[in-house]
Amino acid sequence: MLYSELCQLDSLENPFLCGLALADHFEALCLSAGFTANDGLQLDPHYPAVSSLTLKHLPPNSSLVTRAGKVVFVRGEPQRAFILAEEEAFFVDDLWSLAKAEAAVQRYILQGHCAAGVRFVDPEHVVVHSQVAIGANSLIWPSVVLMGETVIGDGVEIQSGCWVEDCEIGDGALLKPHSVCTGAKIGPRSKVGPMAHLRPGTVLEEDVKVGNFVETKKTRLHQGAKASHLTYLGDAEVGEEANIGAGTITCNYDGFRKYPTSIGPGAFIGSNTALVAPVKVGANSIVGAGSVITRDVPDEALAVERGKLRILEGKGPDISRRNRKKAGK
C-alpha cells in the first residue's frame, strides 16, 4: 500500500472523523474501506505490517482511524499518519494484486523523482527502489533497474537494460545499454558499457572509460584510464591515463588466494596480454600484444614475452591432407 500524504497525527482536526477507531473496529473499518480484513496493513517493504492484535493495544491518542473512506496508518516515533487515497489501497492476496500494489508504489516514487527534475523516457518500464537518490537533469531509459542504496548525481544518463545496485554515480556519467553495476563507484563523466560488468569494490575516478565486455572487481581505475574491450581486471590498480588493450586479463587467483596487479600511470598494455599476479607494470611502460607477464616491468620499459614464431613454408597442404585423412573425408 502507498501513502499519498504524510502528516503528524496531532495535526488532524478530528482523528475520529468517521466515528470509528481502528483499534476497536479493525474488521469493520477494513470492510468500510472496501477491502477484506486480514492480519494487518502494510505500506511498502520499509514499513512493517501492523497486526490487529497490535492495533487493539494502541493508546487512545494514537488510535488508527478512517477518514472519508480512507485509512490512516500510524508508525513509530514521532507518530505519523499516512492517509491513503482510494486508488492507492490494495488487498494483496495473490501475485497479480501484489504486482498492482507494487506498480502503485513505483508511480509514486517516479512522480517524486520527476518533480525533482529527473526524466524517465518510459516510466511504465523502469524499476526504482525507494532508497535510490537521483540528481536533477538525469535521463533514465526504459528497462533500467535501480536498487538498494544507489546515489546518482546530476546529469547522468542510464541507457536501456542497465542493472544498478548499491552504487555511487558521479555527475555527467554515462551507462550504456545492458551494463550491470553492483557495489561500484563511478566518477564524474565516466563512461561504462555497453555490456560492462562492474562488481563490488570497483572504483572509477573521473573521465574513466570501461567498455563492452569488460569486467572489474576490487579494482580502481584512476582518472582518464581506459579499458575499452574484452578485459578482466580483478584486484588491480590502474594508473592515470593508462590504456588496457582488448583481451587483457589479470590472472589474480591461484585457486587458493587472490593477488594484486599494479599498472602505472600512462602505461600501455597490448591486446591479449595476461598479467600473472602479483605483478607490477611501471609508469609509461609498454607491454607488447600477446605477452604473458610474470615479472615486474620497470618504468618506461618495453616488455615482450612470446614464443618464437616459426614459419614452415609449404607445410599447410600436407597438414590439411593428414587431418582430412584422420577425419575420414
- The answer to whether residue 258 scores a pLDDT higher than 80 is yes
Mean per-residue pLDDT for 295-309?
93
Q: For 107-151, write each residue's pLDDT tens digit.
A: 888 999 999 999 999 999 999 998 999 999 999 999 999 999 999
Banded pLDDT at 87 (limits 50, 70, 90): low
Which residues make Cβ contacts (< 8 Å) with residue 299, sequence separation at least 6?
Answer: 264, 282, 283, 284, 285
Q: Which of 125, 129, 197, 229 is catalytic?
A: 229
Distances (CA, A) of 223 to 133, 205, 207, 307: 25, 5, 6, 35
Grid cell 492476496 in the structure block, residue: 93
Q: What span, in angstroms and rounded, lies between the C-alpha atoms of 91 and 97?
A: 7
Average pLDDT, the chain: 80
Mean per-residue pLDDT for 48-54?
44
Q: What span, in angstroms and rounded, lies between the C-alpha atoms of 235 and 261?
A: 6
Burial 211-250 (b: 16+ CB within 10 A, else e): bbbbbbbbbbbbbbbbbbebbbbbbbbbbbbbbbbbbbbb
Query: Where does CATH 2.160.10.10 sit in the chain?
Result: 118-303
Which fold would CATH assign to domain 118-303? UDP N-Acetylglucosamine Acyltransferase; domain 1 (2.160.10)
Burial 3-22 (b: 16+ CB within 10 A, else e): beeeeebeeeeebeebebbb
- The answer to whether residue 321 scores a pLDDT higher than 60 is yes
DSSP state, residue 88: G
Q: What span, in angstroms and rounded, lies between the C-alpha atoms of 129 and 46?
A: 11
- Is-contact 2 102, C-beta < 8 A? no
Please indicate whether residue 178 is annotated as part of the active site.
no
Q: For 10-47, write each residue's pLDDT tens digit.
A: 333 333 322 233 434 444 444 444 444 443 444 433 33
Q: What span, in angstroms and rounded, lies between the C-alpha atoms of 236 and 28?
A: 63
- The answer to whether residue 221 scores a pLDDT higher than 70 is yes
pTM for the predicted model, two decimal places = 0.74
Q: What span, in angstroms and rounded, lies between the C-alpha atoms of 239 and 49?
A: 50
Q: What span, in angstroms and rounded, lies between the C-alpha atoms of 220 and 192?
A: 14
